[in-house]
Amino acid sequence: MIIIFSPPPKKDLNIVWSKVNDTISAAKDKWNEFANDESTKGLVDSFTNFVSELWDWVLSTFTTEE
């Protein structure tokens, strides 16, 4: 017999959602500044191309052509 204990759910996490929103907005602004800067644009483009090619490879590995 296996008994699984789970911790009781937390009722009050004291999350300040406005602070969470501000933090996410600040991170988004920094990312946009980084991604749109001329000196880093090539790096971002290279990374996105790499991820795209990696995804295509993964898909081709698990699909078969008839």
State pLDDT tens for residues 32-50. Answer: 998 888 888 888 889 999 9
What's at 19, amino acid-wise? K
How far is Cα of residue 65 from the mean position of the Cα atoms in its chain?
31
What mean pLDDT, rounded, does the chain reach?
86
| 35 inside domain | yes
Domains: count for the chain: 1
Higher-confidence residue of 31 and 8: namely 31
pLDDT at position 1 is 59
Q: What b/e readout covers 3-17, taking b as 16+ CB neighbours within 10 angstroms?
A: eeeeeeeeeeeeeee
How many whole angstroms separate alpha carbon 61 and alpha carbon 11? 45
| 21 inside domain | no
- Which residue segment(s) compose the domain that 38 sits in? 30-66
| 6 inside domain | no
pTM of the shown model? 0.50
Confidence of residue 13 (pLDDT cuts 50, 70, 90): confident
| 12 inside domain | no
